[in-house]
Amino acid sequence: MIRLFAIAVTGLGTFMLSLAIFGLWFPRLLPGSIAVPLCITSLIAGTWLGIRLFGKETPNPIEELEAMGLAEVEEYKTLRSFEVEEIEDEGFHFFLELEGGDVLFLCGQYLYEIAEDEGQKEKPTFPCAHFRIKRHKIERWVYEVEPLSPHIPPEEKLPHYSEVYIQKHGFPEDGAIYTQPYEELKAEIRG
């Protein structure tokens, strides 16, 4: 609807401009038999320009990403998880123990839509025992988390990272996989 309005404004705008130029400013220079066709032509040209500028549907960037082969799908099965308190507005921080014993770290605002939050209207769906993540292959940002099993709340929520943890590991990066045991990692974060 907005595109249609933009096309109409472009077409009518060029028509009104041509009417003002040919009809008001140069009425003696151009006879009506020339001015009227010029105004109609400008209406058609303005509408064509509006269609060229505003008529195309905006492509879905996710579909384009997948079509270009830049999408990466990762599937995980987890046993349990814990959450670390966020600082400011970074998004949720989850450490998830994977079936093989490694620990996956996920962090970001993309988790706000699916994880449990105070005042949230919908039931949370993450963390869960089985899920799929879709990321940009090169830049690594997540564009979709698809829960494939029911929600399993985190075992506990820890305060922000201890100095010991930050000195040893630095600030964790979204998507990092730790080979360190789950309980040991949790103890380090706790300090």
pLDDT at 31: 62
* Element spanning 142, H or E: strand 142-147
33 and 76 assigned to the same domain: no
Residue 60 lies in a domain: no
**Cα–Cα distance, 11 to 18 (Å, whole number):** 11
Contact at 8 Å (CB) between 181 and 101? yes
40 and 116 assigned to the same domain: no
* pTM of the predicted structure, to 2 decimals: 0.67
46 and 91 assigned to the same domain: no
Contact at 8 Å (CB) between 104 and 75? no
107 and 128 assigned to the same domain: yes
What tokens appear for 47 in the block? 């509408």
pLDDT tens per residue across span 45-77:
767 666 676 666 667 777 888 888 888 999 999
Residue 158 lies in a domain: yes
Above 70 in pLDDT, residue 181?
yes
88 and 182 assigned to the same domain: yes
Above 90 in pLDDT, residue 78?
yes
Residue 59 lies in a domain: no
Residue 76 lies in a domain: yes
pLDDT at 112: 87
49 and 93 assigned to the same domain: no
The number of beta carbons lying within 10 Å of the beta carbon of residue 168 is: 10
72 and 163 assigned to the same domain: yes
Query: What is the count of structural domains for the chain?
Result: 2
23 and 111 assigned to the same domain: no
Task: Categorize the per-residue pLDDT at 42 as very low, low, confident or very high, splitting at 50, 70 and 90.
Answer: low
38 and 80 assigned to the same domain: no
50 and 70 assigned to the same domain: no
| Beta partners for residue 132, in sequence order | 75, 146
Above 60 in pLDDT, residue 88?
yes
What tokens appear for 29 in the block? 């220079």
Residue 61 lies in a domain: no
11 and 75 assigned to the same domain: no
Range of the domain at 41: 2-54
Contacts of 76 (CB under 8 A, 6+ apart): 96, 98, 104, 130, 131, 132, 133
Above 80 in pLDDT, residue 133?
yes
Residue 145 lies in a domain: yes
39 and 70 assigned to the same domain: no
